[in-house]
Structure 1
Amino acid sequence: MKKILFPTDFSQAATNAFVHALEFAKTVNGELILLHTFEFPIYDNQFFPENYNVLFETLQLTQFDRFKEELPKLHAIAEERNLNHIKMSHRIMDGHLLFNINRTIKEESIDYIVMGTTGATGWKTFFVGTNTGNVIATVAIPVLSVPLEAKFKKIETIGFTTRFREKDKKALKEVLKFAKKTKAKVKCLYVKTANSDVSAATIKQWEEEFLGESIQFSIIPSEDVQETIMDFILFKYIDVLAMLTYKRNFFVELFKPSLTQKFSNSLAIPVLAIHE
């Protein structure tokens, strides 16, 4: 059984992503591990010599109480969607989010992470920020990031960007496994720029290797990679976009405000980042 880590701060974005996490768990026959982390504020104990420990105990109890209050709401969502059979366990940890995520990945042998983000208009902040962006950049397992505006719907088309490298092929095979479970088709995009070095023979070899799969390759000549990907999402009716974790700057440029404003509605889709 696959293990899916779901970090949550109980925000609206996290609650929306929880539905995706439940459905993802159903698709991959997985269980959810809910993780809530918090960091204590830094105080100089010379100014709180008598009640320093009491202060931190109070803050910790507040976090536990909030955790206990929010959990029934998540279980209610699972029951409403007839997914209360999905196994769920819970962890509450103090300390830095990224450290606790990596610790949980190791201790629980996590296979996937599902996280919420603020949505299409907040992509730049998301990828530059210290939370989900850092998770994508550092963990060695796939991360499904879910914008607030991305309400769950049946996955019919999965987009996959490729540069026809061997590591792209490995990732594509994983995407195809997931697609078969959801009965979705996969549409691959290669943006061919003037500096592209992929040969026609390589592309043909890929097409022959994946012949018989529910997959379509699109090779589009363009010097504007980011906008071409945006058009691909929009006009190919992509429900989930799968990408290898390129350098962070690529994501920042891909989801810069001028582009996300243009395609804000169509870009409200989950992005599955697969570690290179």
Structure 2
Amino acid sequence: MKKILLPIDFSETSDNAFVYAIEMAKIFKAELVLLHTFELPIVDSQSLPLNYATIYETIELTNFDYFKEKMPQLHTIAEERNLSHINMSHILMDGDLVYNIKKVVKQENIDLVVMGTNGAEGWFDSFLGTNTGAVISDVSVPVLSVPNGTKFSKFENIAFTTRFRKKDIEALAKLLLLAKELQVKVKCLYVKTFDSDVSNDKINRWKSHFDNEENLQFFIIPNDDVNETIEDFLVSQDIDLLAMLTYKRNFFVELFTNTTTQKLSYHLKIPILAFQE
């Protein structure tokens, strides 16, 4: 991993995500790229006798000033964590956030996107319903979403939910490479419902791809309540990071928008690492 992208919007949420991003940059000896985007207003040139270029320059200059004022604050955060040596670059762009993230990911050969999430209804609702959810769906690299208010601490246990699909194998392999750098354990969970069509033979064939992984554990829990089982697992196993493959986003919507999860979300806040299909 050589480059990590962090979109910033001068908010407490992005400041919190900055801590995660710069700590990840330290672990992976990576460069941190900071991106701020702004959108220009739609101007009717016939009714507004102003030069559009002047409007553009004014808005761009204002955002540049915000950006310039924010950088010393971020450098202070880095210094407080003894991370002032991390190489940081800065990009200011106009236009749609998701479009610009995709553009920067391609142009800068980004390996990981880190984004803050925020929402009054709970962290997963925000994760699914805002810009972060859009980025997760559209960007080709893994996306780490960080709920506002979550304090960074050393990762020890990562959960990976699976349904023993072929594409899960590749995602888990990528996660294990990251886990080795992070020096953490990976706990792979499958909730086996009554109507499950996954046979024991299929599970054993799938698991055989990872026979030599010492820091990987498999948990197969029979239960028809998938939602509650995953929630209980995150708590009982002291999970610090939840990793998922986004091949079926509707599953995540169903999984994390029930009443139980909304209540739990207020005191269970962990980052989510999303791998794209």
User: In the aligned structure 2, how far is the partner of 1:229 from the partner of 1:197?
Assistant: 19
Task: Write the mapping of 1:231-246 to structure 2, written as runs, cut at 5 A.
Answer: 231-246=232-247
Tell me: CA distance 1:85–1:147, structure 2 relative to 1, closer, same or farther (3 Å): same
Deviations 1:4-61 (A, max 9, x none): 1111111111100000001111222211110000101222122221354433321111
Task: Write the mapping of 1:1-276 to structure 2, written as runs, cut at 5 A.
Answer: 2-118=2-118, 121-129=122-130, 131-212=131-212, 213-256=214-257, 258-276=259-277
User: In the aligned structure 2, how far is the partner of 1:20 from the partner of 1:113?
Assistant: 11
- Aligned-residue offset at 1:231: 1.4
Aligned residues: 275
Q: Is the 8 A contact 1:233 1:266 kept in 2?
A: no
Q: Is the 8 A contact 1:6 1:35 kept in 2?
A: yes
Tell me: CA distance 1:56–1:223, structure 2 relative to 1, closer, same or farther (3 Å): same
Report the secondary structure of 1:72's partner residue. Answer: helix
Report the secondary structure of 2:5's partner residue. Answer: strand
- Aligned-residue offset at 1:267: 2.8
User: In the aligned structure 1, how far is the partner of 2:216 from the partner of 2:87?
Assistant: 32
Corresponding letter in the other structure for 2:236: F
Deviations 1:118-167 (A, max 9, x none): 168142133122x1111001111100000002110010000000111222
Deviations 1:227-254 (A, max 9, x none): 2211111111100000001333222222
- Aligned-residue offset at 1:94: 0.1
- Aligned-residue offset at 1:265: 4.7
Tell me: CA distance 1:205–1:187, structure 2 relative to 1, closer, same or farther (3 Å): same
- Aligned-residue offset at 1:74: 0.8
Report the secondary structure of 1:187's partner residue. Answer: strand
Q: Is the 8 A contact 1:16 1:116 kept in 2?
A: yes
Report the secondary structure of 1:149's partner residue. Answer: coil
Q: Report the RMSD for the aligned CA atoms in angstroms.
A: 1.8
User: In the aligned structure 1, how far is the partner of 2:24 from the partner of 2:150?
Assistant: 14
Tell me: CA distance 1:41–1:257, structure 2 relative to 1, closer, same or farther (3 Å): farther
- Aligned-residue offset at 1:221: 1.7
Report the secondary structure of 1:48's partner residue. Answer: coil
User: In the aligned structure 2, how far is the partner of 1:6 from the partner of 1:50?
Assistant: 35
Tell me: CA distance 1:140–1:265, structure 2 relative to 1, closer, same or farther (3 Å): same
Report the secondary structure of 2:140's partner residue. Answer: coil
- Aligned-residue offset at 1:222: 2.1
Q: Is the 8 A contact 2:127 2:145 kept in 1?
A: no
Deviations 1:70-108 (A, max 9, x none): 011111111111111111101000000111111111111
Corresponding letter in the other structure for 2:235: L
Question: Under a length normalisation based on structure 1, what TM-score does the superposition of the two structures give?
Answer: 0.93
Question: Under a length normalisation based on structure 2, what TM-score does the superposition of the two structures give?
Answer: 0.93
Report the secondary structure of 1:150's partner residue. Answer: coil
Tell me: CA distance 1:182–1:139, structure 2 relative to 1, closer, same or farther (3 Å): same
4+ runs of 1 displaced by more than 6 Å?
none
Between 15-24 and 260-269, the greater mean CA deviation after superposition: 260-269
- Structure 1 gaps of 5+ residues are none
Report the secondary structure of 2:36's partner residue. Answer: strand
- Aligned-residue offset at 1:194: 3.0
